[in-house]
Amino acid sequence: MFETIVITSPEVIKNEAERINLLFLAGCPKVHVRKPNADRGDIVSLLSGITPRFRNRVVLSGFHDLAELFHLGGIHLSSSEWHQMSERPSLYPGATVSASCHSIEEIDHFPFDADYLYLSPIFDSISKEGYKSQYSLESLTPILQNIKRRVYALGGVSEQNIHKLPQAGFAGAAVLGAIWSTEGMEVMKLKTLLTPHILTIGGLDPTGGAGITKDVAVAGDFGVRAYPIATAITYQNEETYLGTDWLTPEEIIKQIDAVKHSSYPQVAKIGLIENVLTLQALFTYLKSVFPYIKIVWDPILKSSTGKTFHRDPKEMQEVLCNVDVITPNLPEARLLFGEDLSLEALNRISKSYDLSILCKGGHCEGNIVSDQLVCSEGNTTFNLLRSGSSKHGTGCAHSSALSASLALGYTLEESASKAQIYVSSLMRSSDTLLSTPKVWNSSRSLFMLRDVKHMFITHPAKGNPSVLMQVELACRMGAQAVQLRMKDATDEEMIEVAYSAREICHLHGAIFTINDRVHIARQVRADGVHLGQQDTDIAEARRILGDDAIIGRTCNTPQEAVEAVKEGADYLGVGPYRFTKTKKKLAEVLGLEGYRKMLDVLHKEHLEVPIFAIGGITEEDEPEILSLGVTGIALSGDFIRKMKCDR
């Protein structure tokens, strides 16, 4: 996948570590720390401020011994450094080695195996005045396509030209001036640079609930830019289908032609289409203009309002070998593939057309929605509890969510899962047939974590207010984070409460996390999960919940704390401070001294993350505990006692 690296400004700048953390939260895959004039102290202080779990995405120029100390992703060699080497420097396991080259000859004669090589200046430099491009992309393309090494473009890379680089044969790009030239705008600049494009080709639906307008809205929710290409004007509302005016293949292609120089679509999602001839014409055109494009076909054979398209769906099979992923719902799959939708039958079809099939399960009976993915990597079933009410256009939304996720670089399996969860949230978004798109800005929560002084943990018990009442009251009492802990509840009971608890928290601007159960955190789109030493491991939770999720870990010893931060915990719940009845099987009581020791070890290891003291803590204890340098207090009993007094 094409990788975009941000190179730091050469000078030390204000709040730099914080600004780099924000870039990581905004999806930056890698930051290259390059400060030719900085001293060792400057670099140590910058690296110390970078959140530990992002440090494996940092690559360092100079002071290479610090890379291992801070568990960085790797080192970068300048031209003068690698010219004196004959073999790859031996580093700690997993560390990458990259280097700068200034000509094709240098790349050809590079003396050892590097993870990637910069080639510069590809365009006129933005930050170095007068540093002009040495190449034309046209002449570089055939050369790069024959080079076995991964070459990254450097010099003048910006939002105007980055989209040309993958096609020219670059495996990535390194960006400096385009990110840092306008102070304070780096996150926005990065987002624009990273925004992938898709084409969405289908019908125009005046309700906006389906068709290309819906596709654009869904893609927007995923942070993807969609170019809407109309195949037809439809006359419909959410209840009735009144008619269609089809555009000719020439008219459809003319629209794509108009945007082909400014768009760089990784995926084309095709929806409503008149017939096989139009589809074939589109495939031929798309493959000639965007040879690398992935085609997702949502075979709309019948609209949710009852209109049937394509009298002979079998004819449609002829074109399957041109499609990468097909996303029929169950009735469409039966029309296309026949009644036998067993895994064996779908696997046979998938193999014979070299096609991935995602059968959308919205039309299946029962309480569980089951989507079935069949592809060369294997079969996966995605199950989700049915919730909300049916909506116009969910099929379109599902396929566009899948296409947007693919364009963002997620695997097909990850994309199918994201699409299912997204559609489930649309189903719950309103009581009418039209859904309301929702933007879930979870990375905001991760950043807010450091300002949390009180994390309230629910405690269902006889005589206590209901769990939802606890959530509401805790938020009113100023808790900036709430953890839903319902040890004796079934999954169904917890899920039901969790949806409403999340809404309450988000209305109050509080972070909402789930205790123990990662699958519920994922299903209800909580901001994160809290895991004890005996719960799911952090890597597994991260795989399930993704990069933006907050993952907390309980720790009782400095060793557990060091391990948890290295494994990628975003915060630690450290306790118990003193004995408490709220939790069974308590670890050893820590007292103030326990926290002092732990903070000391984490500081020495440069592994500072937010720390929440927990266990029997009351308001009177707080000043002394906070004065040690912990971030905040996690608590149940003290808040619940106050709730009861106030009633």
Ligand X SMILES: Cc1nc(C(=O)O)sc1CCOP(=O)(O)O
Ligand Y SMILES: Cc1ncc(COP(=O)(O)OP(=O)(O)O)c(N)n1
Stretch of residues binding ligand Y (CB under 6 A), selected from 50-58, 483-491, 502-510, 616-624: 483-491
Q: Least distance in Å: CB of 523 to ligand X?
A: 22
483 among annotated binding-site residues: yes
CB contact at 8 A, 58 and 23: no
The token pair at 571 is 């915060």
Over the window 466 to 505, marking each residue x when it contacts Mg ion by CB under 5 A and - when it does not, the resulting string is ----------------------------------------
When asked if residue 517 is in the footprint of ligand Y (CB under 6 A), the reply is: no
Of 253 and 531, which CB lies nearer to ligand Y in the complex structure? Answer: 531
Over the window 95 to 124, marking each residue x when it contacts ligand Y by CB under 6 A and - when it does not, the resulting string is ------------------------------
In DSSP terms, 614 is beta-bridged to: 634
Q: Let me know how long the chain is.
A: 647
Within residues 575-594, the interface with ligand Y by CB under 6 A covers 575, 583
Q: Least distance in Å: CB of 573 to ligand Y?
A: 2
Can you tell me which of 221, 516, 527, 622 binds Mg ion, judged by CB under 5 A? 516
The token pair at 455 is 């994390």
Other beta carbons within 10 Å of 79:
12
Stretch of residues binding ligand Y (CB under 6 A), selected from 355-363, 471-479, 481-489, 619-627: 481-489
The burial class, CB within 10 Å (0-12 / 13-18 / 19+), for 413 is middle
- Whole-angstrom distance, CA of residue 588 vs CA of residue 161: 58
Q: Please enumerate in sequence order all residues whose Cβ is within 8 A of that of 517, keeping only pairs 6 or more positions apart, or say none.
A: 491, 494, 529
- Whole-angstrom distance, CA of residue 284 vs CA of residue 295: 12
When asked if residue 121 is in the footprint of ligand X (CB under 6 A), the reply is: no
> Which residue, 231, 386, 435, 401, is CA-closest to 327?
401
When asked if residue 214 is in the footprint of ligand Y (CB under 6 A), the reply is: no
CB contact at 8 A, 328 and 360: yes
581 among annotated binding-site residues: yes
Q: Least distance in Å: CB of 535 to Mg ion?
A: 4
CB contact at 8 A, 374 and 341: no
When asked if residue 637 is in the footprint of ligand X (CB under 6 A), the reply is: yes
Q: Helices (H), strands (E): how many in the chain?
A: 26, 25
Other beta carbons within 10 Å of 578:
14
Of 393 and 528, which CB lies nearer to Mg ion in the complex structure? Answer: 528
When asked if residue 532 is in the footprint of Mg ion (CB under 5 A), the reply is: yes
257 among annotated binding-site residues: no
161 among annotated binding-site residues: no
Q: Least distance in Å: CB of 29 to ligand Y?
A: 30
Q: Least distance in Å: CB of 48 to ligand Y?
A: 24
Question: DSSP label at 54?
Answer: G
CB contact at 8 A, 227 and 198: yes
Residues annotated in a binding site for Mg(2+):
516, 535
Site residues for ligand Y per CB under 6 A: 455, 457, 483, 485, 487, 515-516, 530, 532, 535, 552, 554, 573, 575, 583, 612, 614, 634
> Which parts of this chain interact with Mg ion (CB under 5 A)?
516, 532, 535
Site residues, ligand X (CB under 6 A) = 457, 554, 573, 575-576, 580, 582-583, 586-587, 614-617, 635-638
